[in-house]
Amino acid sequence: MTTIIVVVLILISLSGLLWVLSPFYFPVLGKTLVKIDMSSQLSKCKLQEKSITLDNGRTAWYLERMNGQETNEKPLVIVPGLSAYMHLMGVQFADLLKLIPNRRVIIFELPYHGKRASMNENFADPGCSTDAMAACLERFLVKIKLTESFDLMGYSLGGSIATNYALRNPHNVNQLVLLAPYFYNEATTDNYNSIFESKQWGTLAAWNGREEMERWFHDWLGMEKADKLPGFIMSGLAAIRSDLYPESHWMNFYDQLYDDCTPTKSFLEDNKTKLEALPNPVLVLAGTTDKICDVNKLADLNNIFNPNSCTIKNLDSGHCFAPNGKTLFEVAAEDTAKFLKS
């Protein structure tokens, strides 16, 4: 009996110790596991991290998978969404990359994101407007000498950047894929617009800490409660973000984004003539339960782009997460691959 009591007391003590230490060790454990998994998936996708010095002296970062063999398939350039750095996008697009195994793939790191974030950030240069971001993409592609036409894909904010780039360089783009494209005001939900206009950045992608991240995942990105990730993984994801970005980084980003996007609230309408004249086939993939980009407003893109070359398809998904533990990227992979091969 005495031995049993001692064992019970030891177990209780260990449980108490783990509970006390969990706020520190759980994020460390989660961060380590997430990094290992991410590295493994990027390796399987054969994506390599690269950098190049631009003409303005700044460093641009990107992931690249070279052609698997001799192929006539066009290169694919992917533009991530707001707060989605290139490594995360590489993992998210793993299913698509498996379906197009022989293509050269380039995933661009947006300014102020991931490897391009710094402690002393000047968000006014180059700025957060789609014009500025598209110009950065343009400068980067010229520098890596991508002179042949390529397919261009943009997710969320990357969708508006990709569209802007296509307007500036229509002959460089072969086909255009817009995944849950973020055209602020014109194709975002009324609720999102209200939150954005009131500058409630903490409830959007400027979240800070695990609790706010979880609300962002559930309230805006579409993660169902039943698909919630283990606590230590969620803590790890939040810890990785804290390591990547200085304090108040995303608050300052949103302040600049707010100022820069004000003149472009009617981007689609202002450029309707040019967009309709685009010769490129366009695929728009919209999430039916997306809380950021309005599926009904996105349907109107058929009246913005040339209806004879624009295809719009709705997917059972939110802005990032889909039912049954899937993601928007998983459910979009087959349709995207089929379109790119057409």
For 47-207+249-341, CATH number? 3.40.50.1820
pLDDT in tens, 151-195: 999 999 999 999 999 999 999 999 999 999 999 999 999 999 999
Statement: residue 16 has pLDDT above 80: no
Query: Using one digit for the tens of pLDDT, what is the confidence trace for 222-251?
Result: 999 888 888 888 888 999 999 999 989 999
Q: Which of 130, 182, 195 has its CA nearest to residue 290? A: 182
For residue 186, which amino acid is it? Answer: E
247 Cβ neighbours under 8 A, 6+ residues apart: none
Beta strands, E only, the chain = 48-53, 59-65, 76-79, 105-108, 150-155, 173-179, 282-287, 310-315
CA distance 161 to 183: 9
Q: Where are the domains of the chain?
A: 47-207+249-341
Rounded Cα gap, residues 297 and 189, in angstroms: 8
Question: For residue range 135-160, what is the model confidence (pLDDT) as tens digits?
Answer: 999 999 999 999 889 999 999 999 99
| Residue range 16-24: mean pLDDT, rounded | 45
Q: Per-residue pLDDT for 263 more than 90?
A: no
* C-alpha–C-alpha distance, residues 321 and 244, integer Å: 23
